[in-house]
Chain A
């Protein structure tokens, strides 16, 4: 299995632009998580889905952030408009209730200039 796949691995954009981060979970997993990591705030949970349905989005910083999971094999995290303070590494993870662990992807490093 290829593991959790995230794209792009690196993204550099200018303030005000729309950014879309993509995640493909491990096949058969029905839970998907989006996390953000910064030096100041560490690793934070943004949102998670069970069976493609958002369960907890209380970590989403503001309305500029939105996440979707149109099917079991794909999720997006969109930032519109982006701001310099959104610069971070964004991780996607997948799992299911019968597993002990969450499996993390390699992350997307976002830089907003």
Chain B
């Protein structure tokens, strides 16, 4: 699986959009971009995933650049409960059961009141 690079930490004001970047310059054509987050002392939680197109669900939006070398996770209206470590993961398998997840160090997002 391709390696990802994320900033170690970011701050965002409550109510504003949080934009979390991820670089994955060695991504292959058949690899997906997944985002998970881990709230303190809890297990990781799936947020969203995509291949080429931008994706949106009830939690977030995922913007993937045309060359697929980077992506941005957007939390449109951040709340204090969004404070967590966010992991960007690139993997070949599609579907939760396809294979294991390779976690990097992630971005510690802190939402400020």
Contacts and interface: CB of A to CB of B under 8 A. Distances in A.
B42 interface: yes
Interface string B84-108: 0001000000011111111111100
Contacts of A100: 46, 49, 95-96
A82 interface: no
Interface residues of B, number: 21
Interface in B5-40: 38
Given A102-B46, A104-B44, A106-B42, A48 B103 contact: no
Contact of B103 (A42, A56, A95): A42
Contact of A42 (B41, B95, B98, B105): B105
Given A35-B100, A104-B45, 15 more contacts: A33-B100, A42-B103, A42-B104, A59-B100, A91-B43, A93-B44, A95-B96, A99-B97, A101-B96, A102-B46, A103-B96, A104-B42, A104-B44, A105-B43, A107-B43
Given A45-B101, A45-B102, A97 B96 contact: yes
Main DSSP-derived SS at the B contact region = loop
Interface of B: 38, 41-46, 49, 87, 95-106
A112 to B, nearest CB: 19
Contacts of B99: 48, 55-56
Contacts of B95: 95-100
